[in-house]
Amino acid sequence: MILHLRAKPNSRQNQLLRAADGTLTVRLKAPPQEGQANAVLLAFLATVFAVPKSRVLLLSGHTAPFKKLEIEGVSEEEGQRVLAELIS
């Protein structure tokens, strides 16, 4: 499954949100320094999708707020179901 999302570091808690236009935003507790926010993002998504951290890959956006990630071993349908349950 490929995810396109916006990461917002320095939040109070790790949280996944869907905007009215359907875009995903992830709020992260970690600061955007030395890859800390990216590490927290990968671990958080691994927990959300119940996969090992090694199966969550950051494809692009290493230093940008807009990220493209791949969740290996999760089909598009299964991923959308998990997102719908989590965000609703």
Q: CA 5, 11, 42: angle at the middle one, nearest 5?
A: 45
Cβ neighbours for 74, distance < 8 A, ≥ 6 positions apart: 1, 49, 51, 82
Stated pTM of the model:
0.92
Domains and CATH numbers, the chain: 2-87 (3.30.1200.10)
Per-residue pLDDT of the chain (88 residues; tens, 9 = 90+): 999 999 999 999 999 999 888 899 999 999 999 999 999 999 999 999 999 999 999 999 999 999 999 999 999 999 999 999 888 6
pLDDT tens digits, 51-61: 999 999 999 99
